[in-house]
Amino acid sequence: MAVKEPPMYRKIANALQQQIESGELPPGEQLPSEKELATTWSVSESTVKTAISELRKAEQVRTVSKKGTFVAEQREPFYITLSNVDLGSTGNPTGAGLGGGEGQAFVEEAQRQGHSAHFTTPEVKIRKATKAEIKALGIPADRPRPQVVGRSQERFVDGKPHSLQTSYFDLDLAKQAPLLFEEEDIEEGTVNYLAAIGRSQSGYIDEFVGRPPADQERAFFGLPKQSAVLEISRTAYDQNRLPFRLTVTVYQRGVNAIRFITGEVPDHIWPRPPR
């Protein structure tokens, strides 16, 4: 049986991919124009557009309006640690969960990898709960007009956009924890703060989904229209195994890697953050 030839757009994309991987087209280098590539390959410009689109989907190139298409900078992946390891002297002994943790847990994860991190002051909004939030937070289905309090932050690593995180709480719970309404960091951390009012975190469940970015996410990460983000939803449970917090974190695909750590591992993999 004869082997089917790949379509021309795929041949062009593969050839450009090889040039990128070999260093012939280094990071930041501008690709030839679509017209030039069409002439080189004796194809239509629409075929070239499809080839370039494939490279954008793979995040190998980025297109800047009115300037052209450039080879994307290949960054070392930032590791998102989701397992609940022994935090020891990290200053976060509560088991906040690192990858889904807020504030200092995120900063220390970056320090552990030799990076600097910061995050914006929380933006707080009260709104009607969605069906997914009602289910995740265990809000009674017969409650009239269920509402949630959302605390949203933009997070950065080495000054570059890293993730968008929002933690949701049932409005009834938030009324017992007034700091959740404040647009400022909770110094002791949300986990410790809620433990002080009797909702101690005993465990959590993480769920993953890859999806197209929303407009706000595309603008924050600087993504093209045809791209994808990784969303991790963490539902936290208290000492009575009741859900009380839903944290949704959105990451840019291609510059982050997920890892799980269990037990004792070498220091070069899991070093203590510098003090």
The pLDDT, as a whole number, for residue 268 is 74
| Cβ-contact 122, 152 below 8 angstroms | yes
pLDDT at 95 over 50: no
Q: What is the mean pLDDT of residues 73-97?
A: 60
The pLDDT, as a whole number, for residue 178 is 96
Q: What CA–CA distances, in Å, run from 69 to 28, 34, 38, 63, 80?
A: 9, 9, 15, 4, 30
pLDDT tens digits for range 110-165: 888 888 999 999 999 999 999 999 999 999 988 999 999 999 999 999 888 899 99
Q: What average pLDDT does the structure give for the chain? A: 86
The pLDDT, as a whole number, for residue 232 is 94
* Residue 147 DSSP SS3: strand
The pLDDT, as a whole number, for residue 88 is 45
CATH of region 8-71, choose from 1.10.10.10, 1.10.357.10, 3.90.10.10, 3.40.50.620:
1.10.10.10
Structure tokens at 167: 């933690």
The pLDDT, as a whole number, for residue 93 is 36
Per cent of the chain over pLDDT 90 is 53
| CATH node for 78-259 | 3.40.1410.10
| Cβ-contact 260, 247 below 8 angstroms | no
Q: What CA–CA distances, in Å, run from 42 to 32, 37, 45, 69, 112?
A: 14, 8, 9, 20, 51
* Residue 191 DSSP SS3: helix
Per cent of the chain over pLDDT 70 is 89
pLDDT tens digits for range 1-30: 566 788 999 999 999 999 988 889 998 899
pLDDT tens digits for range 24-50: 999 889 999 999 999 999 999 999 999
The pLDDT, as a whole number, for residue 84 is 58
Q: What CA–CA distances, in Å, run from 258 to 41, 193, 225, 255, 261?
A: 39, 28, 24, 10, 10
Say if 8-71 and 78-259 have the same CATH topology. no
CA distance 5 to 263: 49
pLDDT at 54 over 60: yes
| Cβ-contact 222, 229 below 8 angstroms | no
Q: What is the mean pLDDT of residues 46-67?
A: 86
pLDDT tens digits for range 216-229: 998 898 877 667 89
The pLDDT, as a whole number, for residue 80 is 86
Domain range summary for the chain, segments of one domain joined by +: 8-71, 78-259
pLDDT tens digits for range 173-185: 999 999 999 999 8
- Residue 275 confidence class, pLDDT cut points 50, 70, 90: low
